[in-house]
Amino acid sequence: MIKKLYNTNTLEKSELIQVIKDNMDSLDPKLLHYAAKTREKYYGKKVFFRGLIEVSNYCKNDCLYCGIRRDNDKVKRYRLSKEEILNSCKVGYKLGFRTFVLQGGEDGYYTDEIMVDIISTIKNSYPDCAITLSLGEKSYETYKKYFEAGADRYLLRHESATVEHYNKLHPSNMEFEHRKDCLYNLKDVGFQVGAGFMVGSPYQSIENMAEDLLFLKELNPHMVGIGPFIPHKDTVFAKEKAGTVHMTLLMLALTRLLLPKSLLPATTALGSIDPKGREKALRIGANVIMPNLSPVDNRKNYALYDNKLSTDSEAAESVNSISKSIREFGFVPDFSRGDYIHWKR
Ligand code: SAM
């Protein structure tokens, strides 16, 4: 079945479920081999760097799993000003980054006018850089304004493609159908789009994971963010178990085979539960890393889950030592924009 997946880049739902079951205890070496080979076919040994700027931890949403959910009153809230965001870009540019990822909670402070001003100022200051946004669900018109202002990419994980499961992770005012519409709107506007999900989130079944993979195949995004769920002490899911490294690697490998050209980050969440997590992810087909470029004082307050890394191996200022370890793993750090293969705006 793995050979079939490698050759055809697709499987039926029942086959995917079977592959997941077959690899629950240990990963078939064939999976590792074909996933790595597929990544190499399109992107070689390159690992693309993105500088992550966590612009705000204010959020109007109350996702049950998330440490910065609206109802968590223990969070020290912050938002970065335009000047602070530009300063992070300046620091990042000097360090060599050519993609800036602006991520944050759904914070009403950033009106379209404010965001468009921030995006166009970054673009004018650094025309050779890509701007990625990850600011949640917005209207078609807003996405279009962001794009026209110069944003290139947008990350919006679908979180779960099974409605019943999605509803167990989110309050009743949030709907999978709406998130899905946003993802298709983003593609329509012209963004390079990223979807994705957490592995091992509460109530997630094998079937749910197969649905997530099939949804990804249908959407055909350019990027896929897959990391383990990790509980946060001040959320509804404080006492739930974290997702495992093993299952996260399995989902990454299957995604690489289903979407051969995708850009797949070795996520901070994976690095946070296993010091070797990033290396393992790169070996199984991941090809992006996103070190933290936020102002150092704010990082601890963007705590999506407990013990989230933001220093050392996850910090942009450690870029030299991160590059060194990537070379030691046998990969090639790449500081270009790192667009989706053959991408033209
Ligand atoms: N507000 C934007 C959005 O909705 O896409 C971006 C910020 S949101 C905090 C970024 C991602 O963090 C989510 O898509 C979710 O998958 C992940 N996340 C949140 N809480 C998490 C947790 N407890 N464990 C692992 N990942 C988590």
- Residue ranges in the chain assigned as alpha helix (H): 2-8, 13-22, 29-43, 82-95, 112-125, 140-149, 163-169, 176-189, 206-219, 245-258, 268-273, 277-283, 296-299, 319-328
What is the atom index within ligand 1 of the atom nearest the CA of 304? 20
- pLDDT tens digit sequence for 97-153: 999 999 999 999 999 999 999 999 999 999 999 999 999 999 999 999 999 999 999
What is the 29 CA–ligand 1 centroid distance (Å)? 31
pLDDT of 179-235, one tens digit each?
999 999 999 999 999 999 999 999 999 999 999 999 999 999 999 999 999 999 999
CA 245 to chain CA centroid, Å, is 16
The helix-helix angle for 112-125 and 82-95 (nearest 10°) equals 30
- Please give the mean pLDDT across all residues of the chain: 97
Any atom of ligand 1 within 6 Å of the Cβ of 199 = no
What distances in angstroms separate CA 212 from CA 8, 176, 177, 207, one per listed residue?
19, 12, 14, 9
What's CA 170's distance to the chain center, in Å?
A: 19
Residue 94, CA atoms < 13 Å, CB-side half-sphere = 8
pTM for this model (two decimals)? 0.98
Confidence bin at 311 (pLDDT 50/70/90):
confident
Domain ranges of the chain: 2-6+14-332
A 10 A CB-CB count for 100 gives: 23
Beta bridge partners of 263: 223
Ligand 1 binding pocket includes 154 (Cβ within 6 Å): no
Q: With 90 as the cut, is the pLDDT of residue 282 above it?
A: yes
Q: Which helix (H) or strand (E) holds 230?
A: none
- Buried b or exposed e, range 116-126, using 16+ CB within 10 angstroms: bebbbbbbeeb
In this structure, the strands spanning 51-56 and 332-334 are unpaired
CATH architecture, domain 2-6+14-332: Alpha-Beta Barrel (3.20)
Pocket test for ligand 1, best of 53, 110, 154, 157 (most atoms within 8 A of CB): 157
Residue 103's DSSP bridge partners are: 54, 134
pLDDT (0 to 100) of residue 312: 83
Does the pLDDT of residue 244 top 90, yes or no? yes
How far does residue 118's CA lie from ligand 1's centre (Å)? 23
- CB of residue 316 inside a 6 A radius of ligand 1: no
